[in-house]
Structure 1
Amino acid sequence: MSDHAFSEADRAAVYKAIVSRRDVRREFLPDPIPEAVLKRILSAAHHAPSVGFMQPWDFILVKDLGIRRQIKAAFEQAHAEAAAQFSGAQRATYRGLKLEGILEAPLGICVTCDRARHGPVVIGRTQNPEMDLYSSVCAVQNLWLAARVEGLGVGWVSIIDHTALAELLGLPQTVQPIAYLCVGYVAFFRERPELEDAGWLARTDLTTLIHHDRWGQRE
């Protein structure tokens, strides 16, 4: 075993946070998040890996109910457009799903990516300029796992027009929204993802996703 490995208890805690993380929509409580807790989860996000140590993220904390109502309206429009893309029983199932907690959660956090930070040439972006976007997604995952450790639920509102969201939050032209997250304490965490419980999709068997040396080569 590596001398740099975590202790068994610490290792178990990390994996527990990963496997018990959930996308929360309907279980939010109105309780406020203490500033110390909020600072810890934002610090965890800020310690995410980033291309060229660019740290392209910012965090917009959205508490104002009026702004959240506008974001909810933008979601509703996108939600209706999405429903029209399904048909039959799938459309009915989709319409019955709760896919956000914008007004129920006491806090919204918009994680952004400043694509112009540190100039046009950044180590690691010279061939793949989208790496800054992936870096900001890493910050989202760090925040999500840290929130789970703190007993906070997080829900990613992906059904929303990012252009509309950027306008509502007054983002500069070079800053792109990556994720609008609903954050708050919850009544409980589900044993399984809600979409899995609803029969939308099942978890894929990991062994079917592993290839060796080249695509399609199985062990």
Structure 2
Amino acid sequence: MQPRFGPAFQDELAALLEWRRDVRHFRRDPLDEDAVAELLATAQLAPSVGNSQPWRFVRVRSAELREELALHADAEVARAGLSLSEDRRAAYSALKLHGMREAGEVIAVFCDEATVSGSGLGAATMPESRRYSVVLAIHTLWLAARAKGLGLGWVSVVVPEYVESVLGVAPDWRFVALLCLGHPLELDDTPELERRGWQSRLDWRTNVSER
């Protein structure tokens, strides 16, 4: 029998979506191994094209590899700042764009472009739909982590090929995301990018059109 998701659950789901945060500030507390395993198992429930489940999670357990990735991100953050206009540069410099040195867990996420799962269903004309599926798994992990009081931050200021090389993944794995997972230092009712005047959330109507 299918479960019924009543009004109370619907309200909680709306609150969960509203309170999802891209977290960059973490406490250094370690994460419970069972909690991490449960989150990754939950991510496996995400929808995927042809049920291909092409996501590949690599837990970066080596302190040396984590620091190498953190240094790389630092360099790319500085490089990106140079391309900004003068008025944006000050706001940019105030942002913390990754928490790899503090987060309890760093996870690199890849798409297996050569997966045999799903037998190519739904990807013949749009093979990139496999990567979209990986993003859905990340979002599922993100919400599940928030529901447990944990924070997740997506680090995008890295060069994909560099991460693939450093972690020595299979040739057909393509980098999608570098995630920081851990106990948030604090949670605010306003996302950090809004608080710091970088970008507010748009009204949904601005992103909807009709034909």
Structure 1 partner of 2:125: 127
Structure 2 partner of 1:82: 80
Structure 1 partner of 2:177: 179
Superposed counterparts of 1:3-152, under 5 Å? 5-26=4-25, 28-118=26-116, 122-152=120-150
Q: Conserved in 2, the CA contact under 8 Å of 1:111 and 1:179?
A: yes
| Greater alpha carbon shift after TM alignment, 5-14 vs 178-187 | 5-14
Structure 2 partner of 1:217: none
Cα distance, 1:112 vs structure 2: 1.1
Q: In 1, Cα distance between the equivalents of 2:155 and 2:174?
A: 15
RMSD, matched Cα: 1.7
- Structure 1 segments (4+ residues) deviating >3 Å: none
Q: Conserved in 2, the CA contact under 8 Å of 1:74 and 1:165?
A: no
Structure 1: any 5+ residue segments left out of the alignment? 215-219
SS of match in other structure, 1:11 = helix
Q: Conserved in 2, the CA contact under 8 Å of 1:44 and 1:143?
A: yes
SS of match in other structure, 1:180 = strand
Structure 2: any 5+ residue segments left out of the alignment? none
Cα distance, 1:7 vs structure 2: 1.7
Q: In 1, Cα distance between the equivalents of 2:182 and 2:118?
A: 37
Structure 2 partner of 1:158: 156
Residue identity over aligned pairs, in percent, reads 37
Q: In 1, Cα distance between the equivalents of 2:67 and 2:56?
A: 22
Compute the TM-score of the two structures, normalised by the length of structure 1.
Answer: 0.91
Q: Conserved in 1, the CA contact under 8 Å of 2:53 and 2:117?
A: no
Q: Conserved in 1, the CA contact under 8 Å of 2:109 and 2:176?
A: yes
Cα distance, 1:80 vs structure 2: 1.8
Cα distance, 1:187 vs structure 2: 2.8
Q: Conserved in 1, the CA contact under 8 Å of 2:98 and 2:155?
A: yes
